[in-house]
Structure 1
Amino acid sequence: MAYNLDFSVVIDRLPELLIACAATIGLAIAGMALATVIGVLGVIARRSTIKPLRAAVIAFVEIIRNTPFLVQIFFVFFALPQIGLRLNPTATAIIALALNGGAYAIEIIRGGVDAIPKGQVEAGLALGLHKAQIFRHIILKPALRTVYPSLTSQFIMLTLTTSVCTSIAAFELTSVAQKIEADTFRSFEVYFSITLLYLVISGLMMGVFGLISRLSFNYPVK
């Protein structure tokens, strides 16, 4: 029997899907912001002279990079209550996204920092700059400029990773799509539609990142 396409079920529930898109973008932005902080702090710790601190950062990065995000989000979801911290699924999802993105951000930013010539640091010291000023102006900003395309690509991936957050009942696009599919039994129409919506979200994110690059670093990201 031929399958008759019927996108009216998607059109009828479009307001729900658009709200879910906004929730997905919110999850992604919150995760990216925290991941960037983790990335910068992780690089500082990675360059520390305190060996246990360096070892902890290396271990964190390797654990995150070598385990599935689904396992990570379940670990966070079930581990936090064990230490008395009970959060709603959305907050838990943001933490898991931040930890995942932060581990990759550490390695990406570290690559940019390691590419800074030592002569520039020595010049900063010769000018009498404090270590914090040297790190901020001579090391961090040029490093971020260098790795910005790689960092933003990783953040686009983090945006798409939000779909896994439906596994802990976080409110986002895929969780709403599953609900609509369960109500209507129109699997193809629903998932075809959210595929397009994810493409739109990714395109929007790339546009925003391109604008930021032009305003902050004076060059376009392609």
Structure 2
Amino acid sequence: MRVTFDFLSILAEWPMLLKGVGWTLGLTFISAVIGVAVGIGCAWARTYGGAWLRGVVGVYVELIRNTPFIVQLFFVFFGLPAAGVKLSPETASIIAMVVNLGAYACEIIRAGVEATPRGQVEAALSLALNRAQIFIRVVLPPALGKVWPALVSQIIIVMLGSAVCGQISTEELSYAANLIQSRNFRSFEAFIIATGIYLALSVGVRKLLNWLGPRFLFGRSTGAR
């Protein structure tokens, strides 16, 4: 039996693939910005917040880190409507990705925050900075510098995890590949091309974030690469 491959029939559907790439990058960008912000807030709460706040954030972090992303996605999209909250597939995907990334980013950033030398905080207090200023200007930048590679890796994981969002009809890359193969029955070729695109996106987004971080978030002096 001779097996033939027809990658051109998949590439001919490039508008659909391009749309899928656009949605994947869009979901990743929005969830990364909001998710990292959530992670920063939760890291502050777990480090400096009161006992009740640390407890609430701790439950959130453990709940998300110990359940599958697809279950979280299905809860948001299928579960919340039972409570009267109906969401579009795209909105549900963003919420699920933000909630997921926020929990992981919290622990990653908290590790960097707790590694900040106590002397830096005491020096900032001696300059009459308030707690918010100390955290934003003194503690957070070097903390991000220390954990940036790990945080970037987590963002990439969330981007790749967005592939399951096609299960609720979000038109990201895996949804596009699945739709194409359902039309021409070229499953092998469709998903090989999708795999290559995901690989290229992962490498490109990682390089971009590693370039952006030291220049716009925490400066070059932290030693992050």
**Superposed, which structure 2 residues align to 1:12-161 within 5 Å?**
12-161=12-161
Paired residues of 2:173 and 2:194 also in contact (CA < 8 A) = yes
**Structure 1 range deviating more: 171-180 or 81-90:** 81-90
Structure 1 residues 136-215: aligned runs within 5 Å: 136-215=136-215
Residues 29-60 of structure 1: CA distance to partner in whole angstroms, max 9, x if unpaired? 11111111110110122124422211111111
Cα deviation for residue 2 of structure 1 reads 1.6
Secondary structure in 2 matching 1:195: helix
One-letter code aligned to 2:25? I
Alignment deviations for residues 78-106 of structure 1 (CA, whole Å, 9 cap, x no partner):
23223332210001000000010110000
Task: Give CA-to-partner distance per residue, 1:158-191, whole Å, 9 cap, x none.
Answer: 1111101111111100011111111111011100
The percent identity for this pair of structures is 41
Return closer, same or farther for 1:89/1:68 CA change in 2, 3 Å cut-off. Answer: same
What whole-Å deviation, never above 9, does each CA across 1:182-203 have from its counterpart, x for those lacking one? 1111011100101111111112
The alpha carbon displacement at 1:214 in A equals 4.1
Deviations 1:195-218 (A, max 9, x none): 111111112201211220342322
Q: CA deviation at 1:10?
A: 0.8
Structure 2 residues not aligned, in runs of 5+? none
* Cα distance per residue 1:121-163 (max 9 Å; x no partner): 1111111111111111111111011111110111011111110
**Unmatched 5+ residue regions in structure 1?**
none
Indicate the RMSD between aligned Cα atoms, in angstroms: 1.5
More divergent stretch after superposition (103-112 vs 196-205)? 196-205
Structure-2 residue corresponding to 1:218 = 220
TM-score by length of 2: 0.94
Partner of 1:113, secondary structure, is helix
Whichever residue aligns with residue 119 of structure 2, its letter is: G
Aligned residues: 222
The 1:162/1:180 distance shift into structure 2, 3 A limit, reads: same
